[in-house]
Amino acid sequence: MKAKLNQYTPEIEPHMQSHLAAIVEAVYQKYGYDFRQYSEAHIKRRIMNRMAMSGLEDISQMPSKILNDEEFAFKLLQDLSITVTEMFRDPGFYRSLRENVIPILRTYPFIKIWHAGCSTGEEAYSMAIILQEEGLYDRTAIYATDFNQRALNRAKEGIFSNKLMKEYTANYQLSGGKESFSDYYTSNYDHVIMNQSLKKNIVWANHNLVTDSVFAEVHLILCRNVLIYFERELQNKTQKLFYDSLINGGILCLGAKEGLRFTDLYEKYIELDKKQRIFKKKY
């Protein structure tokens, strides 16, 4: 039975799982990106979207298309890596960061921070702004990593659409920012460029949370809205990676809807801010 375009019928559903598995396997074998333990409903939605846009007639053609057509595979990889992000997303989180985490960071002579799954960089720039305002940025190194090189390249440029600045300014102010947000960038027609002084201590690096190992030993890890895409077992494995990367007393920040409750490591952290999902590794 053929699955025509996006209009897949219930009858092909029994085979759907094996089609999806074959697609994800092809991506892994040829390109090394491992989506085998990502949430299936999510993967399926992205694959069916890509199929609808590609003009492929039958989902069973997709694995060979992936193996033979790098451009197509690259598009699919972009689909599977959701890069939606914002500056000062969840302002309440950044407010708590200022109140509860900055005082801890202040006690270290040199501060290392890891943004895992930094996407196009908005989160790392937000952090740099806070650190600058708190007078800590000069003794900080921010490692911002993602497995999506295209997103990383954009992050490095630090060029964002002017249209977004109104919302980001509101986020910044809600997060407790007191300066004029527009001082942090230069406007140029329809886009803005983030200040060089914010970029100077950020290292952008390609790192895959599934297939690469510990990245560095750090004082603070932010991994927000990445783990929601992982199945539970992979979440656990990734949490182990974070645990091993944090110094004792180090801080872990997760996304607004993410937690540690169901991981093996729940006991090994103290909740610094339950609502904002900020945890401190026990000594």
Partner 1 sequence: MQYDAVVIGLSAGGMNVMKIIFSLLPKDFSTPVIIVQHISPRSDSQWIGLLNDKSNLAIKEADEKEKIKNGTVYIAPANYHLLIEKNKTFSLTIDERVNFARPSIDVLFESAAEAYKNKLIGVVLTGSNHDGAKGIKRIKECGGLAIVQDPKTAESAYMPTSAMAAVKPDYILSLEEIIDLLIKIDKQKE
Ligand X SMILES: C[S@@+](CC[C@H](N)C(=O)[O-])C[C@H]1O[C@@H](n2cnc3c(N)ncnc32)[C@H](O)[C@@H]1O
Interface positions with ligand X (CB under 6 A): 81-86, 89, 117-119, 123, 146-148, 151, 208-210, 224-226, 255
CB of 58 to ligand X, least distance (A): 28
- In the chain, where does DSSP find H-type helix? 13-31, 40-54, 62-68, 70-80, 91-96, 102-105, 122-133, 149-157, 165-174, 196-199, 232-245
> Which one of partner 1, ligand X, none is in contact with 9 (Cβ closer than 5 to 8 A by kind)?
partner 1
| Comparison of 3 and 66: residue with beta carbon closer to ligand X | 66
CB of 89 to partner 1, least distance (A): 9
3 state SS of 180: coil
For partner 1, the binding residues (CB under 8 A) are: 9-10, 13, 16-17, 39-42, 44-46, 82, 84, 92, 225, 228-229, 232, 256-259, 262
In the DSSP assignment, the letter for residue 99 is I
Cα–Cα distance for residue pair 226/124, rounded to 1 Å: 15
| Comparison of 132 and 238: residue with beta carbon closer to ligand X | 238
> Which one of partner 1, ligand X, none is in contact with 210 (Cβ closer than 5 to 8 A by kind)?
ligand X
| Comparison of 136 and 210: residue with beta carbon closer to ligand X | 210
Nearest to 113 by CA among 137, 143, 92, 91: 143
| Comparison of 39 and 100: residue with beta carbon closer to partner 1 | 39
> Which one of ligand X, partner 1, none is in contact with 117 (Cβ closer than 5 to 8 A by kind)?
ligand X
147 neighbors 81 (Cβ within 8 angstroms) = yes
Q: How far is CA 147 from the centre of its chain?
A: 9
193 neighbors 158 (Cβ within 8 angstroms) = yes
CB of 245 to partner 1, least distance (A): 23
Across the beta sheet with 202-206, what order do the strands follow?
202-206, 140-146, 111-116, 218-223, 246-254, 278-281, 269-273
> Which one of partner 1, ligand X, none is in contact with 268 (Cβ closer than 5 to 8 A by kind)?
none
- In 175-252, where does DSSP find H-type helix? 196-199, 232-245
| Comparison of 8 and 224: residue with beta carbon closer to ligand X | 224
| Comparison of 95 and 139: residue with beta carbon closer to partner 1 | 95
| Comparison of 81 and 175: residue with beta carbon closer to ligand X | 81
> Which one of partner 1, ligand X, none is in contact with 257 (Cβ closer than 5 to 8 A by kind)?
partner 1
> Which one of partner 1, ligand X, none is in contact with 132 (Cβ closer than 5 to 8 A by kind)?
none
Q: What angle do CA 214, 220, 225 make, to 5 degrees?
A: 80
CB of 10 to partner 1, least distance (A): 5
